[in-house]
Amino acid sequence: MTLLVPASQVRLSSAEEPSCYSRFVNEWFCWQYVEDRHEQITDALVEHVLITTAALVLGLAIAVPLALLARRLPRLESAVLGFSTAVYTVPSLALLPLLVPFTGLSAATVVIGLGLYALTILVRALLDGLRSVPDDVREAATGLGYGRARMLTRIEMPLALPVAMAGLRVAAVSTVALTTVGTLVAYGGLGDLIAHGVQRDFRAELLTAAVLCVVLAVVLDVVLVVLQRVLTPWTAGTR
């Protein structure tokens, strides 16, 4: 006797066949996963960018006053550099939980933690940039009647910008990588996908998130290079 199967059931069974990212196949490269989960991937990428950007802005907001303080009062330089370095030695697995009682399980916890980590690079880069300003330039500005504040904003900071931007580029790439640690408080951007991929042995998810982290770091570095060239047009001849 021949058993007839309805056409609807045939289509249903065909639709239920495992895709390239199912547990039966589990391929590393799977464009179908990107198409099926593009909203989830986009949300994670946007969160990663926002956290990284906010952390860098916070790091700069703290690093600039610290660098100026260390330069104005040389006896405090060791303390400032020691503080910024000591923060970086605290493991992220310890730092983020320490911030949770004050900021809760929120993106602010990750932003504050990453902003503090960025101080190690940013403070030193700003100090090195300020030291790179030639003394004769300062003397000439003083002779032209520049006060301390005007000299800082019109002379020293612009000339220190190339060195400071180099440090910012390093801090940016480092922060992109460290943002993934935010998955400890459920705000890790692409790190959440990486953690889920590791836990479930989900190769397509793991590789896609890892590749996007690398691409994001490269794109951010290129953006900072272009921004540096726009802000320091006088260095074009030197390059």
DSSP secondary structure of 195-229: HHHHHTT-HHHHHHHHHHHHHHHHHHHHHHHHHHH
| Confidence label for 53 from pLDDT (cuts 50, 70 and 90) | very high
pLDDT tens digits, one per residue of 114-158: 999 988 899 988 888 888 877 777 778 777 776 777 777 777 787
Contacts of 97 (CB under 8 A, 6+ apart): 184
Mean pLDDT of 57-75: 88
| Predicted pLDDT of residue 191 | 83
Contacts of 47 (CB under 8 A, 6+ apart): 107, 187, 189
Phi first, then psi: give them for residue 236, nearest 5 degrees: -65, -40
Separation CA 229–CA 194 (nearest Å)? 34
pLDDT tens digits, one per residue of 77-102: 888 888 888 888 888 778 888 888 88
Q: Which domains does the chain have, with CATH numbers?
A: 39-231 (1.10.3720.10)
Listing DSSP states for 39-54 in one string gives HHHHHHHHHHHHHHHH
Give start and end residues of each alpha helix (H) in 91-202. 92-103, 107-131, 135-143, 148-151, 157-178, 190-199
Q: Answer yes or no: is pLDDT of 239 > 60.
A: no
Mean pLDDT of 41-47: 89
Q: Among 2-6, 14-18, 117-121, 180-184, which stretch is predicted with the lowest mean pLDDT?
A: 2-6
Distances (CA, A) of 78 to 15, 58, 59, 211: 66, 22, 19, 39
3 state DSSP class of 78: helix
20's tokens: 């390239």
- Mean model confidence pLDDT for the chain: 80
Separation CA 98–CA 42 (nearest Å)? 30
Higher-confidence residue of 31 and 1: namely: 31
| Confidence label for 4 from pLDDT (cuts 50, 70 and 90) | very low
Separation CA 119–CA 56 (nearest Å)? 9
Residue matched to tokens 């001849």: 237
Separation CA 231–CA 239 (nearest Å)? 14
Percent of the chain with pLDDT over 70: 86
pTM, to two decimals: 0.82
Amino acid at 85: T
The answer to whether 195 and 155 are in contact (CB under 8 A) is no
DSSP one-letter code for 176: H
Separation CA 193–CA 205 (nearest Å)? 6
Q: Reduced to 3 DSSP states, what percent helix, strand and coil does the chain have, rounded to the nearest 5?
A: 80, 0, 20
